[in-house]
Amino acid sequence: MLNPNQVRKAAQEVVAEMIGKKVGDADYLISSGLIDSLSILKLIGNLENRLSVTIPAGDLQPDDFESVDFITDTVLRVARSR
C-alpha cells in the first residue's frame, strides 16, 4: 500500500531531477513547458523505479502528470505493486 507522503516526496524528487530545480507542488509542469511530451514516459519510468511500482500509462493522459499534486493523485490511483 503506497503512502501518500512517500508518493509526493518521490514525485517532488523525480521532477526536480528532471528539470534541474525544485518546483511547487501545484506548479504546472507540462503546459508550462518545463517537461515536454517526449519526457512524460521517462518521468513515469523514474517514478516506477523510485517507488517499485508499475504505472500503466496506456489509459492515462499527459494532464495526469501536470503537477506534483496531479502526479501524486495519479500514482495513488493507478499504481500497482511489482
Q: Which residues bind to another protein, rule: CB under 8 A?
A: 28, 30-38, 40-42, 44-45, 57-63
All three cell numbers of 12, joined, read: 517532488
Toward another protein, which CB reaches closer, 35 or 51? 35
Q: How many residues does the chain have?
A: 82
Q: Please answer whether residues 7 and 76 qualify as being in contact, where contact means their C-beta atoms are separated by less than 8 angstroms.
A: yes
Q: Least Å distance between CB 33 and another protein?
A: 3
Q: Least Å distance between CB 57 and another protein?
A: 5
Toward another protein, which CB reaches closer, 1 or 33? 33
Q: Please answer whether residues 7 and 51 qualify as being in contact, where contact means their C-beta atoms are separated by less than 8 angstroms.
A: yes
Bridge partners, 54 (sequence order): 80
